[in-house]
Structure 1
Amino acid sequence: MAKGKVLVIGSNATRIEVQGGWGATGQYLNETVVPVWALLEAGYEIVLATPDGTKPHIDPASDSADHFGGDTAAYERAKAFYAEHPAMNEVRTLRSVIAEGLDAYAGVFVPGGQAPVVDLMQDPDMGTILRHFHAAEKPTALLCHGPMAVVSAMPHAREFRAALIAGDVETAQDLAQGWQYAGYRMTVFSATEEKVVEDYILKAKMHFTMPDALRAAGGAVITTPVDFAPNVIVDRELITGQNPRSDHPIAAALVAALDRARAA
């Protein structure tokens, strides 16, 4: 019998706004599969849900053994798992999960890739889910760009995001008043890490950096001085990881938090 259910929330975005147009995006393979493996191995059941109920698109930039420490066997295993395992293919809508009842879930996890910046950051159902887990003080873990989803908990998330794209930080700060996660210590994909993606993958600049966005919302954002060094920060129920190489550390932190909550 499973220890409990963990809600894994994926993105449906395949394109992201950049200065001058749009760039391709998606969800990162390792950031999805590595924590899910850890949760399953620890005895938890996984429920995957997205805004529209379809399976997340994997960003081609993550489709490489490089994100598995060069371990080709681990990479191939991850690809097969994502393609074939029922937990990765029986996808629910966020709305159906809410309707069925969030009390059934022990925790929630949001993988990264830039995709969450497009939809989850401003999705009202995502916001409903996060407010529930915040109020219940249940483990809430988000990785890389995934932490941008916490913006959805504010009542004017869509307008907040639009203000950031317009470069109007003052308006964004006003819209963020009363945000549930204000003052929380957290991390997210850093500005210098993002520049690597802009230069070599997107070939275009983003409208805002992730740390600046979360600081405008009221978060106490901490990133490492060394790009792509693993970094996980735990503050109360919130567990955030900075980048793709934080996949194993955030998995361990989430499992530990779930086990502690279960034993309490």
Structure 2
Amino acid sequence: MNLLKVGGALLALGLAVSNAYAAEPSKGKVLVVMSSAKTLDLKEGKTYETGYYLNELATPLKAIVDAGYTPVFADPQGNEPQMDVSSNNDMFFDKDAAKREEALKFVASFDGLKHPLKLSAVAAKGTSEYKGLFMPGGHAPMQDLMKDKDLGKILTQFHSTGRPTGIICHGPIALLAAAHDPVALDKALISGDDNAVKSLAKGWPYAGYKVSVFSKGEEQQLEPGQLKGSVLFYNDDALAKAGAVVDNGEAWKPHVVVDRELVTAQQPFSDHEFGQKLVAALNAKSH
């Protein structure tokens, strides 16, 4: 037996197998919607420097990528999204600094996050190439995404086709972008005009959906220390006034709600369960 030939054959076989795995096709694209905002307006003219929450992006994104999907990032301005520095904390990673560092490196590995598409370009082209949509939280979506009309068009396309739409923590407030006039709706929420909110929310496609979102109680715990001010309105109140059925659990405990194509989660500690349920929805829709 010629050992060199055998060895060469085994090497060739190994390379072929390796290449086959490397060339394994993606299950499809997932649109990852980010906020362009770097600050959140608060009451009394105060502001809070914000962005996306590290684990709310990294953990579900890893689940999506590990499941074989390709993320495509987009935000309103086409600028690199900012991370909320308060999220760069071991408490969101099982108090494990190594896991937090891994998350930072994982997020930094995506060039598309540094150079995202503009939501206007995505809306103009249409979303038929995407299997689903994922949006992380942080306070930033309250500043821009909830009143972004291009996002409203995008969400409506996913809704009308029943494609999975996964949003975590403060992110679900962005569902209001699908209202007829989200800019006016935002103003009505800030002014506390409930009659105007009800009128402007007529025809909102997510009316009657069960939704989990960062709660008023959780927000009020953050306001004195982290935010050093009060938000202009509370997410759960706003969604309820617009016609959603808010389904929240215990404060700071994992809580995820699935209603039709919509997968929503209450706060950062829901990240793992949220990622699993979003991937399950993507896989179910893809088959």
**TM surpasses 0.5:** yes
Mapped pair 1:7 → 2:31: yes
Partner residue in 2 for 1:43: 68
How do 1:9-158 residues align onto structure 2 when only pairs under 5 Å count? 9-21=33-45, 22-158=47-183
Paired letter, 1:219: A
Contact 2:81 2:114 in 1 (8 A): no
- Aligned-residue offset at 1:30: 0.6
Q: CA deviation at 1:85?
A: 2.7
**Equivalent position of 1:261 in the other structure:** 285
Contact 2:252–2:267 under 8 Å retained in 1: yes
| Partner of residue 174 from structure 1, selected from 172, 180, 199 | 199
In 2, distance between residues paired with 1:87 and 1:74?
22
By how many angstroms is 1:53 displaced?
0.7
Aligned counterpart, 2:18 = none
Deviation at 1:87, TM superposition (A): 4.3
How many residues of Structure 1 are paired with residues of Structure 2 in the alignment?
Answer: 262
TM-score by length of 1: 0.97
Structure 1 counterpart of 2:270 = 246
Identity percentage of aligned residues: 42
| Aligned equivalents of 2:58, 2:286: Cα separation in 1 | 23
Distance (whole Å) between structure 2 residues aligned to residue 53 and residue 99 of structure 1:
14
CA distance in 1, matches of 2:132, 2:171: 15
Unaligned runs of 5+ in 2: 1-24
Q: One-letter code of the match for 2:167?
A: L
| Secondary structure, aligned partner of 1:26 | coil
Which position in structure 2 is the counterpart of 1:159? 184
| C-alpha deviation, 1:98, in angstroms | 2.5
Deviates more, 1:68-77 or 1:103-112: 68-77
**3-state SS of the aligned residue for 2:128?**
helix
* TM-score between the two structures when normalised by the length of structure 2: 0.89
Mapped to 2, the partners of 1:212 and 1:108 lie a distance apart of 24
Which letter does structure 1 place at the counterpart of 2:100?
Y
What is the aligned counterpart of 2:209 among 158, 165, 184?
Answer: 184
- 1:215-245 per-residue CA deviation (whole Å, 9 max, x = no partner) reads 1110000111x21111000000011000001
Runs of 4+ in 1 over 6 A off after TM superposition: none
Query: Match of 2:62, SS?
Result: helix
Please report the RMSD computed on the Cα atoms of aligned residues, expressed in angstroms. 1.0
C-alpha displacement of 1:67: 1.1
Cα deviation per residue 1:71-109 (whole Å; 9 max; x = unaligned)? 111100111122233343341111222333310000001
Deviations 1:113-140 (A, max 9, x none): 0100110000011001000000000000
Structure 1 alignment gaps of length 5 or more: none
Amino acid at match of 1:66: M
Worse overlay, 39-48 or 18-27: 18-27
Q: Equivalents in 1 of 2:251, 2:211: separation in Å?
A: 16
Partners of 2:168 and 2:274 within 8 A in 1 = yes
Q: Is the 8 A contact 2:38 2:49 kept in 1?
A: yes
Distance, in Å, in 1 between the alignment partners of 2:207 and 2:116 is 31
Structure number with bigger Rg: 2
Matched residues in 1 for 2:195 and 2:224: separation?
28
The counterpart of 2:258, out of the listed 228, 234, 256, is 234
